[in-house]
Structure 1
Amino acid sequence: MMNDRYELFNKLCLRHISLSEHSSYGIGGNADYFAMPATVEQLVTILEVSALYGMDRVVFGMGSNMLFPDQPKQGKLYISLKNMTDITVNDSRWFLTSGLPLSMLSLVGLITGSPAFQFTYLMPGSLGAGIYMNAKYYKEQVGDKVESVYYIDLADPALAVQQIRADECEFAYKQSIFQHKPWIIVGADIRIPEHEEAAIAHNGDISRLLTNYKNSNGKLSSLSAFYSFFSSELRGLQDRRMTRIETPEAMLEIERYRTANRHFTSLSCGSFFKNNYAADASIGALVERLGLKGVAYGGAIISPYHGNMILNAAQATAADILYLKDTVSDAIYRQYGFIPEPEVVVLTE
C-alpha cells in the first residue's frame, strides 16, 4: 500500500517547473518539485509522502495573489490546488472544491438564477484562496456567503478532512482563521437564498462551463487569458437562446471598472496592499497623492492607472516588485504614520 503511495507521489510530483507560469505576476524561478492534485485523495498522498521525505511545502491556488521567489529553495515542494475544480448544485446548496475560480461562481449563479455571487465576476483567484483571505469587492465578501468550510489540518497525523462552520471562521476585513492555522482548505458548502423566480437550473450548462475551464485551466494564471476566458463564457451564456440569460448591470459595472484600470493588460496580482480604513482614503488614493503612480524600478512599475497595483512591466524580478513595495510603504509611513499591510502573499527564500 505504501509502495502505491510512493508510486502515485512520484507520478504527481513534477520536477523543475517554472513558478512564473503559475502566477499572475509571471515571476518566479524553477521549483525543484511541483504538484497539482485533482482530488483530496491525491492531495493527502502528496502531503503524506512529502512529510516522510521531510520536504518543505507551499500550498496555493491559482497563484493570482502570490509573489514567488526568483530563486526557490532547493528541495521545496510547491502544491497548486487549481486542478481541484468541481461543483455540485443541489437545490439551494452548492458544494465547491477549493480550486474552483471565484469568477466561476458568478457564471454558475447566472445559470441557476442566483445573484449571490455577481460580485465575484472577474475576481482572480480560487475559492480556497478567497476564503483564506475573505476576498471582497466593495461591500460584499466571500465569508458572508459560506455556510461551512472543509479543511485538512497539517498538525493532524491522520490528515483527515474536517469541517468548520462559517461563524467559527473569524471572518473580518480580508481576514480569517485560516491565516493563523496550518490548515489547507479543500472545499466549502454555500447556501443560496431562495429566489422569487424559479431557478433556471441547467446542469448541462454548468457541466459545459466546467469542461471548458478544465480544458483551459493551465493557462489561466495569465490575467489576459483569465479575462478572455470568463468574458467569452459570459457572452456565450448570453448567446445561447435556451438559457435566455442577460448580464446583470452589477457585472457589467465590474467589467467596466476593471478594464478601465487595466487590470488584465499587465502582469500583476491586482491590489498589492490592504486598505487601512483608519486612513482617510484608499491606498491607491494615497499613492496618487504622494505622486508615486508611474514610478518604475527595474522591470516593475507602480501602475499609472491604479496606485495600489505594482506591475511586472518588463520581465521584473521579485526583488524589483519588493523595491517598489518598500518605496510605497516608506512614503506612506512618513506622510501618514502607518505601514500598509500587503495583500499579496510574498514568499521569500
Structure 2
Amino acid sequence: MMFKQESLAWHCSYQIGGVTHFFTAPNTYDEVIAVLQQCKAKGLHYFIFGLGSNVLFPDDLRNDQAFISLKKLAYWKNRTTNWFVSSGVPMSMLAIAGLLYNITDFELTYLLPGSLGAGIYMNAKYNQFQISDIIDRVYYIDLDRDNLFIQSISVSQCQFGYKKSIFQNHNWLILGADMKVIPSGDKDNELQMVLRRWLNLQDQSNLWTFYEFFAQELHLLAEKGIIIPDTLKSIERYRNSKSHFKYPSSGSIFKNNYDFGTPIGALVDQLNLKGLTHGGAMISPHHGNIIINMNRASAHDVEYLMQVIMNEIYKNFGFVPELEVVQT
C-alpha cells in the first residue's frame, strides 16, 4: 500500500482537518500489516481510525505522522455458527442485517455513526444498550510487538463499561469481532449487496450521506415487505429532531458523568451556552453536548468551545467533563 496526499477533512464527520502526505486506506489484513511495517521503516508515527465519526483532526499536521483509515476493511462472513464482522463495517449495517435475519438484538446500532472497530473501542451505546451486548470475541493486533499477528480475546475479558474497554488501555488494533448470534436462513447475498453498495459510496464519512444511505436501505427493505420495528423509527425520529445529521460534527463531545447524574447536554442547557459560536463552530442549539461545524470551522474553533464548556461546568458544577471525541 502506498501513501498519498489527502485532506483529512474528507475522512471525518467533522469535515475538519489539514492535508497529510501520508494517508492510506488498506483493504485487507495483510495490507494493514504491510502499512504498519512501512511506517516503522520510514520512522512515521501513525494514527489509525475508521470512518472518523468521533475524531477531531488538527488544522496543521506533523510531517512525520501517517493516517490510516480502516473504512475499506469491510468484510462480513457468515460462518453458520456465528457472524464475523470486520472493524471497517459501519455499525448501522448490523441493524440492516438484523432486519434481514429477524434479529432484534442489533436494533441499537441503527444510525450509530462510525465503524464497528471504533464502536468496540469505546463500547458505543444507545440508551441502555451497548455494543458489548452483541459481540462474543474480538480480534486484534498488539502493535507493541515486533511481529504483528492476529490474536483474539473473549468479550468477558474486554473490561467493558460505560464508553470504556480494555482497548483504551493497550496499543491494540481491533480488526473485527464475532457476533453473539446464531443466524438462521439465507440472506447472505442480500447482505453482501448492501455492503457492496456501501463500499461503492463516495464520501462515506459525511454524516448526511451516511444517514441517507441507511434510511434508503431501510426503505428498500420495507418495500420488500419487511416490517420496520417501531424501535428503528423512534431512533430516526429522535436523531432527526436533534439535527444529528444536518451539520458536520462528531456527535457527543463529552462523556456523561454518571456520578454527578445530570447529562452534559442538560448542564450546557442550564448554563445557556447552546447556540454560542466561535469562528465557524457552534454549540448546537438542539443538543448541548454537540459542537457543530456551521461554516468551515477549524479545529481551533471547536477546541475553543470545548474549553468554554469545560471551564463553565467546572466553575458551576465542580467537575471537568471527560472528552469523548478523540484528538490526534
Give the deviation of 1:87 after TM superposition: 0.6
Counterpart secondary structure, 2:21? strand
TM (normalized to structure 2)?
0.98
Return the match for 2:227 from 219, 232, 246.
246
Query: What code does the residue aligned with 2:242 have?
Result: N
The 3 A distance-change label for structure 1 pair 116 and 193 is farther
Query: What code does the residue aligned with 2:43 have?
Result: G
The 3 A distance-change label for structure 1 pair 27 and 219 is same
Residue 154 of structure 2: aligned partner? 165
Return the match for 1:293 from 261, 274, 278.
274
Residue 220 of structure 2: aligned partner? 236
What fraction of aligned residue pairs are identical, expressed as a percent? 43
In structure 2, how many angstroms separate the alpha carbons of the residues matched to 1:255 and 1:90? 31
Query: What code does the residue aligned with 1:163 have?
Result: S
Give the deviation of 1:51 after TM superposition: 0.6
Counterpart secondary structure, 2:178? strand
The 8 Å contact of residues 111 and 201 in structure 1, kept in 2 or not, is answered as no
In structure 1, how many angstroms separate the alpha carbons of the residues matched to 2:99 and 2:169? 34
Give the deviation of 1:103 after TM superposition: 0.4
TM (normalized to structure 1)?
0.92
The 3 A distance-change label for structure 1 pair 310 and 265 is same
Question: 1:149-164 to 2 correspondence within 5 Å?
Answer: 149-164=138-153
- Structure 2 unaligned blocks of 5 or more: none
Return the match for 1:32 from 21, 33, 44.
21
Residue 102 of structure 1: aligned partner? 91
Query: What code does the residue aligned with 1:154 have?
Result: L
Superposed CA offset, 1:224-251 (max 9, x none): 00000010011011112xxx31111111
The 8 Å contact of residues 151 and 161 in structure 1, kept in 2 or not, is answered as yes
Query: What code does the residue aligned with 2:311 have?
Result: D
Question: 1:253-292 to 2 correspondence within 5 Å?
Answer: 253-292=234-273
Give the deviation of 1:151 after TM superposition: 0.4
Superposed CA offset, 1:125-153 (max 9, x none): 00000000000000000012111100011
Counterpart secondary structure, 2:265? helix
Counterpart secondary structure, 1:70? coil
Question: 1:37-56 to 2 correspondence within 5 Å?
Answer: 37-56=26-45
Query: What code does the residue aligned with 1:171 have?
Result: F
Q: Indicate yes or no: 2:314 matched with 1:337.
A: no
Query: What code does the residue aligned with 2:262 have?
Result: A
Residue 308 of structure 2: aligned partner? 327
Number of residues of Structure 1 aligned to a counterpart in Structure 2 = 328
- Structure 1 unaligned blocks of 5 or more: 1-8
Residue 58 of structure 2: aligned partner? 69
Give the deviation of 1:193 after TM superposition: 6.0
Counterpart secondary structure, 1:88? strand
Query: What code does the residue aligned with 2:83 have?
Result: W
Superposed CA offset, 1:216-273 (max 9, x none): 0x41200000000010011011112xxx311111111000000000000001011111
Residue 283 of structure 2: aligned partner? 302
The 8 Å contact of residues 208 and 245 in structure 2, kept in 1 or not, is answered as yes
- Quote the RMSD (CA, aligned, Å): 1.1
Query: What code does the residue aligned with 2:143 have?
Result: L
Superposed CA offset, 1:154-173 (max 9, x none): 11111000111111111000
Return the match for 1:207 from 189, 192, 210.
192
